[in-house]
Amino acid sequence: MQVLITGANRGVGQALAALYRDAGHTVIGTARDGSGDELLDVTDPGQQAALGKRLEGQPIDLLICNAGVYLDKGQKLDGGFPADMWAREFAVNVTGVFLTVQALLPNLRLAKDAKIAIISSQMASHERAPGGSYIYRASKAAALNLGRNLSSDLKHQGIAVGIYHPGWVQTDMGGQAAEITVSQAAAGLAGRFDHLSLTTTGCFETWDGRAHPY
């Protein structure tokens, strides 16, 4: 199986890359700083097109859209959340997902039973709305919506799409007080990706296999 993971240079993306490599799969890990197998700033259409060209003719069995940022952590409602922060965060967390899927659709179509896994968050849920982190919550909700709509459009092409909450993970983003390690998150997510199919396409699930409320 050939797996492509965006944002594979740290955190959950890095752990997923290691897990799939250890299992004997071919992994292409991207990073915007050049530290991955492929250079990719997911917000850059030119880099997306170049990646698609370099991978022309290669099937991708599993595309994991993991790259994401949380720029508005700790911002205050009064005077915080500047407009440029909204633009930058949505560019990575939403537009970046769409551009990646769009650029690699030819590769996904070459694979049998191809899958797309979009890493969203429980903070995308409108049923879980304790306030704050407005940009991150809105961007992850948009990524969830994007995944749900992609699942409808791609089902007839034999491509399944799942959206996932990776857990509260001990990463730079989650902090060391988080509930689970990156290894636990990666193992749980990989199990969910294994179960993803055209029957379950459009699902929104947690890393440990629970259906998440929208």
| Vertex 164: Cα angle to 61 and 183 (nearest 5) | 80
Contact 192, 207 (CB under 8 A): yes
SS3 179: coil
Could you read off the pLDDT of 54-86 as tens digits, one per residue?
999 999 999 999 999 999 999 999 999 999 999
Contact 146, 161 (CB under 8 A): no
Could you read off the pLDDT of 85-132 as tens digits, one per residue?
999 999 999 999 999 999 999 999 999 999 999 999 988 888 777 889
* First-to-last C-alpha distance (Å) of the chain: 31
SS3 205: strand
SS3 2: strand
SS3 41: coil
pTM: 0.94
State the DSSP code for 123. Answer: G
CA distance 145 to 200: 16
Rg (CA), the chain: 16
**Closest alpha carbon to 106 in 149, 148, 50, 55:** 55
Q: Which run of H or of E encompasses 104?
A: helix 96-110
Contact 33, 23 (CB under 8 A): no
pLDDT category at 180 given cuts 50, 70, 90 is: confident
Could you read off the pLDDT of 128-173 as tens digits, one per residue?
778 899 999 999 999 999 999 999 999 999 999 999 998 767 666 6
Q: Which CATH superfamily is domain 2-206 in?
A: NAD(P)-binding Rossmann-like Domain (3.40.50.720)
CA distance 34 to 40: 8
Contact 124, 144 (CB under 8 A): yes
